[in-house]
Structure formats: C-alpha cells, structure tokens
Structure 1
Amino acid sequence: MIVRHLGLVDYETTWRRMQQFTAARDENSEDEIWLLEHPPVFTLGQAGKAEHLLRDVGIPVIKVDRGGQVTYHGPGQLVAYLLIDLRRHDIKVREMVRKMEQALIDLLAEYGIAGERLFGAPGVYVAGAKIAALGLRVKNGCTFHGLALNVDMDLSPYQAINPCGYAGMGVTQMKNLVTKMSKHVDLAFIGDRLVEHLKAQLEHEHA
C-alpha cells in the first residue's frame, strides 16, 4: 500500500485526482492512502440537502459524489482518502465503513479518548459530539473519498451547517479532549498512526 503525504491541498483538484486514479486503476494497481489537509470548504454529498447549509459564511460549497450530507474541511483537520480495491480484500462497503470507524476508535484510544459509534450515523463520536466524519464512493469495486478527523482546528464554521445532516449535533476535536497536548499530537504523527490502524483493520479480513 502506498501512503502519500500531500500537505495542504485544494479540495476540488484533489477530488478530481481521486476520480482519475480510480478510473485508471486495474487489478494490479496498488491501494493508496492520501493524507492531507484542505483550505476551508463545505462539501455536500450526493443526496445532500441544501437546507443543511444554514447560512453563508463566505466558505465555498462544493457538491461531490460521495455519500452523506454536508461536512466541513479546514486546516488542522486530518483527511485520509482511501483508494482501496474492496474485491482484493473481499470486503463489502458497510464492512469497510466499520473498519474505518474502528481504526479511528483505536487511534483515539491511544490518546485516552473514548471514541464510539452512533447508531444510524456513520462516523466517530465522543460523548455524542462528532470528532470524525466518513464518506465513501465506490466505483468498480474500488473506494475513494474517506474520512476526516478533527485534530486542532477552528470549529466555528460547523455552526453554519447541520453537521452530516443532523440539526444541533455538536462537534469536537482532539485538542479539546487531550489534557496535555504532547509534541506527538500533530497531524503528521497522527496520520502515520491512523495508517497503521487502517492497515491492521484491512489485514484482519472480516474482523
């Protein structure tokens, strides 16, 4: 599996690159994970409803081809795009989502944070507040898009949306939950740890 650290990159450019990568890959193409951050942007999933955008705060809105409703990306949020051939791992989409959630829960546990699932609402939560969002698209058995983990960011733009379509849902981030931020609580280190947990989940087929 190839891991690419892309830094702070434009959302739409990266999205188009994912589409192109997925369209061009074949059964011999290696899986990839892209770790990155985006400048401030709201993204609206395929079934996304405009009413979940509560007000215009000057942040661009892009309608995209993933599942889910509206979410926010911004600096200080770790984004991992998962370009995975599900057939190679013999797993279904729903199982892939559970593996992504479990990788995040295991990562947060390293920092003493009790992440959990919320029934009917994909993602990872801490005491009911969302800390990580998930959204995938599958084409020809291969995933793109992925997950976004709030690490150390400005959370105020979330007040302009119903996060993932849920009115009044709270959001949180690692910075607010780790009592003593160590030098290891940075995006690069957390990204590397997340990759290890994702690999562990993919290696344990049907775990």
Structure 2
Amino acid sequence: MSFLVKHLGIADYDLTYQAMRDFTQQRDSSTSDEIWILEHPPVFTLGLAGDASNLHSPSSQIPLVQVDRGGEITYHGPGQIVVYLLLDLRRLGIFVKELVSRIEQALIDTLADFGIQAERHPGAPGIYVAQDGGIAAEYRGAKIAALGLKVSKGCSYHGLALNVATDLEAFARIHPCGYEGLKTVDMQTLGIKDNMDIISQTLLEHLQRQLISS
C-alpha cells in the first residue's frame, strides 16, 4: 500500500480547504490516498462544534475560518507542520477512532525521536508534553500538536498540526480546543533545533508506518 505524498510549501488556507473537499467529493474507489504536507499563513480555524467566543482576543491580521472538521478552535501559522490525510478508510480497513489513535501514536513516536516524551489526554484530542518527561515544569502538560478530522463517504480529510517553531503568542488569543488556560508549546521552545524538513520526514515515516499496520 502506498500514498501519494505532496509537499505544498506555504499554502493559503481557504484554497487548500476547498481543494480537500473537492478531492474527497470527486474521488472513487480507485483514487489513490494522498498525504499533503504544508504550512499555512496565520489563520484561526473553528470546528463544527466550536464556540467563536473561544477566540477571546481577535486580531485584524489573523482571519477566523469556520470549517467542517471536528474539534474546537485552533491556530495555524508558519513554523507549524500541517499534514492533511486524504484516506479511504474502508480500503484501509479502519474506523475513525482507530485512525485518530494511529495519528496520535505517530506524533508521540516522532516527538520521542527528538527526545520529547509526549502523551494523550483522555477526552482532549491532541498530543501533550508528558507530565513526567523531564521537561521544565512550566511546559509539562502543554499541548504540542492538534488534530481534527472530517469523514465523508468513508473518506477522511483534514488532519494534524505539529508545533515546531510557531508563533505561540497567537495561541494566547484563543482557548485552544475550547480549554481556557491550556498551555501551548512548540519543539523549538523545548530545545529542538532540527529544521522543518527533517521533522516533517520523520513524521511522514511514522504516519505511513501507522497507516499500513494491520
């Protein structure tokens, strides 16, 4: 099983969002699964169940876009690896809950490769710095990666975002994922200086490994 991987660079959010929906609506059983790796210019996105008031300090420089993924509000911007997973879940033989678990594990394994212990928090999708991972106390439990998916006709789109060297001040304008006071951190703050390409490739390898596992 293989995936068509597309490296899109810095891509406009609205255009990419429309392209994901178009791809999913037009695909059929013979369409190859695709993985898109990119960064976005600064943007806040609000999921289907999201509350716009969780953007408590709006910025005239950062638009807010209502989208059809699950989850609450988040921020995308330069220095953040975004991966969109356009997958036929029926063909892969997995359900959405299992897909989420595999994405989370790929993120945990990626961060471990760079010396960061990370963990899931039940009931709060995303990946968090481990409470006992040897990190400075102020960053323990901070969110370092987000995920949100949409499934249409058995096929997924949207995906994940990993904070590498991100504008953390933008996260201070929102209640990330609807949680007031939730800390957000990036890999750079935790001492990781590897470039985006190296980290992206490591994440891609872990995602592919997770997606083809039985």
Structure 1 residue aligned with 2:178 = 165
Aligned 8 A contact 1:99 1:202 in 2: yes
Aligned residue in 2 for 1:134: 147
Unaligned runs of 5+ in 1: none
Contact 1:112 1:178 in 2 (8 A): no
CA distance in 1, matches of 2:58, 2:101: 33
Aligned to 2:74: 71
> TM-score, normalising length from structure 2?
0.92
Question: What value does the CA root-mean-square deviation take over the aligned residues?
Answer: 0.8
Deviations 1:27-81 (A, max 9, x none): 1111110000000000000111012110212210000000000000000000000
2:5 match: 3
1:104 and 2:107 correspond = yes
- How many residues are treated as equivalent by the alignment? 201
2:199 is equivalent to residue 190 of structure 1 = yes
Distance 2:117 2:143 in 1: 12
**Correspondence for 2:88:** 85
- CA displacement at 1:178 relative to structure 2: 2.8
Aligned residue type for 1:3: V
Match of 2:137 in 1: none
Long gaps (5+) in structure 2: 130-139
CA distance in 2, matches of 1:128, 1:41: 24
- For the residues of structure 2 that align with 1:27 and 1:192, how far apart are their CA atoms? 28
- 4+ long deviations beyond 2 Å: none
Aligned equivalent of 1:122:
125
One-letter identity of the residue aligned with 1:9: A
Quote the Cα distance in structure 1 between the aligned partners of 2:95 and 2:177: 22
- C-alpha distance in structure 1 between counterparts of 2:207 and 2:57, whole Å: 35
Residue from 57, 60, 63 that aligns with 2:59: 57
Q: For residues 190 and 87 of structure 1, what CA distance do their matches in structure 2 show?
A: 29
The 5-angstrom pairing of residues 3-22 of structure 1 reads 3-22=5-24
Within 5 Å, give how 1:38-49 maps onto structure 2.
38-49=40-51
* 8 Å Cα contact 1:113/1:178 also seen in 2: no
Match of 1:145 among 158, 164, 172: 158
Tell me how far apart the structure 2 counterparts of residues 201 and 44 of structure 1 sit (CA, whole Å).
27
TM-score by length of 1: 0.95
Q: Partner of 1:4: helix, strand, or coil?
A: strand
| Aligned residue number for residue 200 of structure 1 | 209
* Matched AA of 2:210: Q
Q: Residue 115 of structure 1 contacts residue 124 of structure 1 at CA under 8 Å; is this kept in 2? A: yes
d(CA) in 2 for partners of 1:73 and 1:153? 9
